[in-house]
Amino acid sequence: MKRLLFVLLTAILISCNGKAQTEKETKNMSEKKYAVEKTEAEWKAKLTPEEYRILRNKGTEYPHTGKYNLYFEDGAYTCKGCGTKLFDSTNKFESHCGWPSFDNAIEGTVEYIQDTSHGMIRTEIVCAKCGGHLGHVFDDGPTETGKRYCVNSASINFVDTDGE
């Protein structure tokens, strides 16, 4: 009986420690400083409600509804929050997943964060300059990189090659 009680208490302590670690990691991520910092009021003034929901609250747009899902012009895709160039159009491909997909990001422009929300283990991608949520990256891409950066259209802008 004592052994069973010991095992149960050990399991509870390990479980609580794991939860505390997760909360600590989450807190540290929200305290990270980025080159572009704005108050929530400033973000809300700059972004539409849908852009704010996605970029600042880690939302997701419905599949097959985004402006850039089936958009294949030459140019670059920038962060809607701060204007940082994130993806080149040469890295965009049709993935049939319902969101704009890229096989690579411009080096140093995207941060990778483990995301365990919704009972899944995924890799969230955020803008390295402002921390805006872009989407997720998966290891199931059809190109040489094997990556599929699945991005919300509402988190990016397109800049025509001729317009730069």
Residues labelled catalytic: 150
Q: Which DSSP string do the residues of 119-157 spell out, in sequence order?
A: G--EEEEEETTT--EEEEEES--SSTT--EEEE-GGGEE
Give the rounded distance of the alpha carbon of 9 from its chain centre. 37
Coil, strand or helix at 79: strand
For residues 77 and 86, is the Cβ–Cβ distance under 8 A? Answer: yes
Coil, strand or helix at 118: helix
